[in-house]
Amino acid sequence: MVNPVLLEIRSERGLIDARLVARFLGVSVSQVGRAVGVSRQLLYRHPDAPKIQPRAAELERILADLIAIYGSEEAARAWLKTPTPIFGGRSAWELIQNEPHGLTAVRMVVENLKEGNPL
């Protein structure tokens, strides 16, 4: 199911587009590549490649939940990029890019926030 809040990260084909994700987050395509586990070169040639869709969809769900929790895209981006003790002084975005299970760890924290559980 496509979240209408995040249509701006979807290509004309309806797929999540890494270049649009990078623009939405204010990060580089290389960073998005690390987050979804593919090379920057692949993303420049095929920004909405089928290979990125599962992890990109998980990132999209996290973003949609953060927007719902914090009330704006700006607040969601700020939460994602702000270092926090819960992630060992790193930001959620750093964890997503640099840890094999970072996306899952961030998703679990966001789920707790969504359920009203304090961190």
Domain boundaries, the chain: 4-114
Q: What local confidence, expressed as pLDDT, does residue 1 receive?
A: 46
Name which of 31, 5, 6 is nearest 18 in CA terms.
31
Q: Which residues contact 84 (CB under 8 A, 6 or more apart)?
A: 90, 91, 92, 119
Q: What is the DSSP letter of 71?
A: S
Q: What is the pLDDT along the chain (119 residues), one digit of tens a residue?
A: 445 558 899 999 999 999 999 999 999 999 999 999 999 899 999 999 999 999 999 999 999 999 999 999 999 999 999 999 999 999 999 999 998 899 999 999 999 999 988 66
Whole-model pTM: value is: 0.90
Q: What is the DSSP letter of 86?
A: G
